[in-house]
Amino acid sequence: MKNPVLDAAELVLEVSDNASGADNQQERPSVAAIPPAVGYYLAGFAHGEGSFMIACRRRADYVRGWKISAAFNVSQTDPEPLMVFRATFGCGSLRRGGNHGWYFEVNSLGDIRSVVVPFFERFPLMGAKARDFEAFRAAVQILGRSPLREDDYIEVLRLREGMNNGGKRRHTMEGILRDYTPNSPNGTGEMR
């Protein structure tokens, strides 16, 4: 008996083979063109194995001393479902992780804004994962502003605090704000 999800996934993989290595975003498969069977399968998979994250890393070359970025990832011991994510999204990377696991991850803010967010708007999540996505989507929208202002910086950190049930974080909001420089050298409050 044929499996409609696998058949649709093969279709996406065939369509995506030409675009997956392309740097031209126009060649990327459209979120609107994703077959529903594939979209709902991937959304369900992400519900169980995916994470929406706002990462904070110390960076001496940044005005505030911290780089704040968004990321989406899915982990699994079997790389095949992650290959379907890569082919369907037409962006991101697949890498080997610890404990014999694999990770599909999207770290580019442009790809997150143009692919990841629209994907989960079309194929919505439920419960706590849906709330994490809503906070992530709001943070991504703020991070897309240029320049990022002081109140934007603080709002992204506030949104991060409510994600992933408060999860384990290497750097707390309090610690980041303790190191935070409230006024940039040019006096505009703009951030890098």
Is position 191 within any domain? Answer: no
Tell me the CATH number at 175.
3.10.28.10
CA gap 4, 25 in Å, rounded: 28
Domain tally, the chain = 1
CA angle 149, 69, 109 (to 5 degrees): 95
Q: What is the mean pLDDT of residues 178-185?
A: 55
Tell me which residue of 82, 165, 173 sits closest to 131, measured CA to CA: 165
Is position 157 within any domain? Answer: yes
Parent domain of 142: 4-179
CA gap 170, 168 in Å, rounded: 7
Which of 10-14, 128-132, 154-158 is predicted most confidently? Answer: 128-132
Q: Is 85 exposed, middle or buried (0-12, 13-18, 19+ CB in 10 A)?
A: buried
Tell me which residue of 88, 2, 75 sits closest to 41, measured CA to CA: 88
Q: pTM to 2 decimals?
A: 0.79
Q: What is the mean pLDDT of residues 36-61?
A: 93
Is position 130 within any domain? Answer: yes
Q: What Å distances lie between residue 19 and 7, 31, 68, 133, CA to CA?
A: 19, 14, 29, 27
Summarised one tens digit per residue, pLDDT across range 104-114 is 999 999 999 99
Spatial CB neighbours of 135, under 8 Å, sequence gap ≥ 6: 52, 159, 160, 162, 163
Is position 185 within any domain? Answer: no
